Structure 1
Amino acid sequence: MVDKIKNIYFPTEETSEIKRVTGIGGFFFKSNDSKKLVEWYGKYLGLKTDQYGSTFWWKDKEGNDCSTQWSPFAEDTTYFSPSEKQFMQNFRVENLEVLLEKLKQEGVTIVGEIQTYDYGKFGWILDPEGNKIELWEPNDRAFQ
């Protein structure tokens, strides 16, 4: 039963489904004063912070170095648009282009075009409540 559940949520090469989300890439939220908030979390909660927030490093089941980002954004940011929410989730994925095409075929709203940087590729979708979700195909080696 456990293997059946794992394959539903985490398809493998043996299944016909593509992998979708492989982990949490980050949590981003709007803040009245993001710089002051980052400093507070560093001072009182011990987060190792920089201008973007804090990066949490961990290893996946194969032992690869991976990261998850925590970042407050300026309250007037348009990065979360068209969502009006105060937060945006970021999920790690393995093959962004294939996944976005599959999601599009399934009727999911795609927002904007894929953006590529040295630390990975990004794409965006909306959930049924209008929450913008960032999908990230990471290149964790760029951070090392």
Structure 2
Amino acid sequence: MKKVTGIGGIFFKSKDPKAMNEWYRTHLGIEMSPWGAKFEWRDAGNPEIKGSTAWRIFDNGTDYFEPSDRDFMVNYRVQDMEAMVAQLRSAGVTILDEIVVSDFGKFVHILDAEGNKLQLCEPIG
């Protein structure tokens, strides 16, 4: 069985992303780039393996989280995206789009049992 290997990112909506980015920078020390923040880490079982977790605030008006009406979306790291999607599809899970390959890895969006949009990512390397 294919499974999630970690959290690749956390995304949520805000009425004022610029002010929220500033609040998180000022009070929690999270430095933001135009696309959000990146927390880098190493695998506990194999410290040679590096990874990262993305964190981003979106404007309330974004349609990126649709069809979910929630104000958040979690990105889960997976291995073997094609096998994971096939496994989910055969179990009747709603797959929202096709696997997209980018410079950062493979991505696809699904819905959980309550209609929350989730992003799956198979990072490069």
The structure carrying a bigger helix percent of its residues is 1
Q: Give the match's secondary structure for 1:89.
A: strand
Return the match for 1:26 from 9, 24, 28.
9
Matches within 5 A, 1:122-137: 122-137=107-122
The CA RMSD over aligned residues, in Å, is 1.1
Distance 1:80 1:122 in 2: 14
Structure 1 residue 44, shift from structure 2 partner: 1.3
Q: In the alignment, what sits opposite 2:23?
A: 40
- Tell whether 2:40 aligns with 1:57: yes
Structure 1 residue 113, shift from structure 2 partner: 1.3
Structure whose alpha-carbon radius of gyration is higher = 1
Structure 1 residue 40, shift from structure 2 partner: 1.5
Q: Give the match's secondary structure for 2:96.
A: strand
TM-score, length-scaled by structure 2:
0.93
Kept in 2: contact 1:35–1:51 (CA 8 A): no
Distance 2:61 2:76 in 1: 23
Distance 1:117 1:34 in 2: 25
Q: In the alignment, what sits opposite 2:73?
A: 88
Structure 1 residue 136, shift from structure 2 partner: 0.5
Q: Structure 1 vs Structure 2: percent identity of aligned residues?
A: 46
- The structure showing larger relative contact order (alpha-carbon pairs under 8 Å, at least 6 residues apart) is 2
- Code of the residue aligned with 1:24 in structure 2: it is I
TM-score, length-scaled by structure 1:
0.81
How many residues are aligned here? 123
